[in-house]
Amino acid sequence: RVHMELQEEYRMQINHKRVFRLYKELGIQSIIRKKHRSSNYNQYKRTEPETITTNIINRDFSVDQPNKKWVTDITSFSIGDEKLHLSAIMDLYNNEIIAYEMARNNSETMFVIKTVYQAVQKEKDVQGVILHSDRGTQYTSKLYQDTLESYDIQPSMSRPGNPFDNACIESFFSHLKTEAYHPYSVQNIEELEAKIHQYIHHYNHIRRQKRLNKQSPVNYRRQNLIA
């Protein structure tokens, strides 16, 4: 990403090997994300979900236009004895986080429904979009399912212990924690909320991705829709 930024800023060809060599000489190194095993299976065993839907995504992440396939999930952050929960929806077309909500209690279904409301308000035309999630109790609740039905959004769910269909948004959460949370000494929930807001804006508007022709999610969508 640094190589791409340098080429655009100076409007000239720069050898990526030179950038790599200078990185080594200066002792600069990217932060490596730790891999961890999902513990979702044990969570699913503890409660009986209300409503289960089929897995429509089924590891097919290909999409040629916005608002065809969305994925959603929840992640948590700890600050001392307090916890902050983040619910987000990603559009698989350009990996953009189109909606997110933060709360200190993630047991309420309204927490994830507010994220859906936000996505609908932003994108407007959501008829027929597939929204994939795991089988968390918020997503299997009747209230959540009724909300999706009211907007003609198709629910899709992974099988227990099979998180691969949510790999894209899990990857986003991992980048968020590695780049904006773990390297810093966050003192309180308010500071953490501010860092999350800042990072999501950076991720959507500035952070380049190889899959998106080295563009940020917002720039990729804008350029392709204009074209």
Give residue-wise pLDDT tens across range 66-116: 999 999 999 999 998 899 999 999 999 999 999 999 999 877 889 999 999
Is the pLDDT score of 161 beyond 70?
no
Q: Greater confidence, 15 or 105?
A: 105
C-alpha 109/C-alpha 98 separation (Å) is 19
CATH code 3.30.420.10 for 40-226:
yes
What's the average model confidence in pLDDT over 33-62?
65
pLDDT of residue 8: 59
Do 72 and 115 form a contact (C-beta atoms < 8 A)? yes
Which residues 6+ apart lie within 8 Å of 205 measured at CB? 216, 217, 218, 219
Q: Which two tokens stand for residue 16?
A: 């990526």
Strands 96-103 and 130-133: what pairing? unpaired
What are the boundaries of each domain within the chain?
1-30, 40-226
Tokens read off for 209? 């991705």
Q: What values do phi and psi take at 19, rounded to 5?
A: -60, -45
pTM value > 0.85: no
* Virtual torsion, Cα 20, 26, 27, 30, nearest 10 deg: -50
